[in-house]
């Protein structure tokens, strides 16, 4: 008789819980979550999914891997995975980590938090892991970080997949490219996580559903009851924003677009300047710290409301956030879209389960 495998998750750099919610969606409960930002941890505490999760506000570097395992409550014979989206920014070197002889290649001063993720993975040896980051981590200037990461996990016995994904393909109403490095000590069930959505103009004979549009997920929040003071637009470019058609940016007001009285010069501004959503198209990437005239704005020429930006990231409708408007925008903008994360975790989970079942059959023969 084949026994089922039961897994739990340890979440590092949890933020507002986008990746954690993805784990719950994939039926893997999160046993432990840690983040250095107090507002993020308070957000997790507000949501019932985390009632059984040990939530820690602190610096991951201050916690030994053994302590993390103990606080998670995961027993030595239990299966578990580690997930996390470590920010890759210019940090100082983490000396104790880079001096270990198996950690060659991770000597880039920007890799401090990547090192912390690797430290916990290599010391706890989970059944699998998923590391999430921006796609630009694959840029040649970051080659030492990625090469070092792969070198370490291979030495630890992990097979891996590097997935360049777009949230659009997993049911998120948003163009958002992200990088995932997925590792397991067994084999993978396929080359990549299964996509569920595709370009509606190219779906002939396809099992994929059309991309989810912004209007589909946020139109219900356009009511007077959900008005937010922060959504009101005023100031230097308020009239210009109103003139931009849905789905366009400032370039609609240039000579390039045939505007009779050009207000701007094409390609002289950032592309998301006065950028406006179209209700029948997916959203552009939701940012963590947008400037006053940086979109995407609502097609009704206002800033997006909190439940709207959360929905565009595919957070559950009843998900609650703690903190100021600025803090909440940052939390949501930095999050892994839950539906995208679910696809990655489901892919890893099914691979681990297939390996577990295969090993049982071998042992029984």
pLDDT tens digits for 289-343?
889 999 999 999 999 999 999 999 999 999 999 999 999 999 999 999 999 999 9
Instruction: Say which range, 129-133, 270-274, 287-291, 322-326, has the weakest mean pLDDT.
Output: 287-291
pLDDT for position 95: 33
Which CATH code fits 214-334?
3.90.120
Q: Which long-range contacts (CB under 8 A, 24 or more apart) does 213-216 make?
A: 213/173, 213/278, 213/279, 213/280, 213/281, 213/282, 214/173, 214/174, 214/277, 214/278, 214/279, 214/281, 214/282, 214/283, 214/312, 215/279, 215/280, 216/173
Which residues make Cβ contacts (< 8 Å) with residue 211, sequence separation at least 6?
A: 168, 173, 197, 198, 199, 200, 282
> Over the stretch 48-73, which tens digit does the pLDDT of each residue have?
999 999 999 999 999 999 999 999 99
In 3D space, the residue among 8, 88, 95, 99 whose CA is nearest the CA of residue 54 turns out to be: 8
Which CATH code fits 7-202+337-364?
3.40.50.150
Tell whether the model's pLDDT for residue 102 goes beyond 80: no
Whether residue 57 lies in the annotated active site: no
At 139, is the pLDDT very low, low, confident or very high (cuts 50, 70, 90)? Answer: confident
Residue with tokens 């991309």: 211
In the chain, what is the greatest distance between 2 CA atoms, to the nearest angstrom? 79
The SS3 call for residue 311 is helix
Sequence spans of domains, the chain:
7-202+337-364, 214-334
Sign of CA dihedral 246, 247, 252, 258: negative
pTM: 0.92
Which one is catalytic: 40, 68, 86, 88?
Answer: 88
What is the Cα gyration radius of the chain? 22
At 206, is the pLDDT very low, low, confident or very high (cuts 50, 70, 90)? Answer: confident
* Element of type H or E holding 182: strand 177-184
Instruction: Say which range, 122-136, 199-213, 257-271, has the weakest mean pLDDT.
Output: 199-213
pLDDT for position 104: 43
Percent of the chain whose predicted confidence (pLDDT) is above 90: 80
At 138, is the pLDDT very low, low, confident or very high (cuts 50, 70, 90)? Answer: confident
Chain length of the chain:
365
Report the C-alpha gap between 92 and 129 in whole angstroms. 25
Q: Are 286 and 310 in contact (CB under 8 A)?
A: no
Percent of the chain whose predicted confidence (pLDDT) is above 70: 90
pLDDT for position 361: 57
Tell whether the model's pLDDT for residue 97 goes beyond 50: no
pLDDT for position 108: 62
């Amino acid at each position: 008789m084949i026994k089922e495998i039961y897994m739990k998750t340890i979440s590092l750099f949890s933020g507002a819980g986008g990746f954690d919610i993805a784990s719950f969606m994939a039926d893997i409960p999160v046993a432990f979550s840690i983040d250095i930002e107090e507002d993020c941890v308070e957000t997790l505490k507000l949501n019932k999914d985390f009632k059984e999760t040990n939530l820690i506000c602190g610096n991951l570097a201050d916690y030994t891997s053994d302590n993390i395992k103990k606080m998670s409550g995961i027993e030595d014979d239990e299966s578990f995975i580690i997930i996390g989206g470590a920010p890759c920014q210019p940090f100082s070197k983490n000396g104790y980590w880079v001096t270990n002889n198996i950690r060659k290649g991770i000597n880039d001063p920007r890799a401090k938090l990547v090192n912390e993720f690797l430290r916990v993975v290599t010391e706890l040896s989970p059944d699998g892991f998923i590391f999430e980051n921006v796609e630009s981590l694959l840029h040649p200037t970051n080659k030492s970080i990625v090469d070092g990461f792969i070198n370490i996990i291979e030495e630890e016995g992990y097979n891996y997949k590097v997935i360049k994904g777009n949230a659009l393909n997993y049911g998120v109403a948003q163009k958002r490219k992200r990088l995932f490095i997925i590792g397991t000590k067994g084999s993978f069930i396929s080359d990549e996580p299964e996509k569920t959505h595709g370009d509606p103009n190219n779906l002939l004979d396809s099992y994929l559903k059309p991309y989810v549009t912004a209007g589909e997920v946020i139109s219900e929040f356009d009511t007077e009851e959900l008005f937010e003071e922060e959504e009101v637009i005023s100031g230097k470019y308020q009239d210009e924003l109103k003139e931009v058609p849905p789905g366009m940016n400032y370039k609609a007001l240039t000579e390039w677009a045939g505007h009779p009285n050009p207000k701007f010069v094409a390609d002289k501004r950032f592309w998301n300047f006065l950028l406006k959503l179209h209700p029948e198209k997916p959203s552009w990437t939701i940012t963590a710290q947008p400037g006053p005239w940086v979109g995407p704005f609502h097609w009704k020429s206002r800033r997006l409301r909190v439940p709207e930006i959360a929905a565009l990231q595919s957070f559950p409708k009843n998900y609650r956030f703690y903190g100021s408007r600025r803090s909440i925008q940052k939390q949501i903008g930095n999050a892994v879209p839950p539906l995208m994360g679910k696809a990655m975790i489901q892919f890893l989970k099914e691979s681990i389960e297939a390996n577990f079942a295969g090993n049982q059959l071998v042992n029984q023969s």
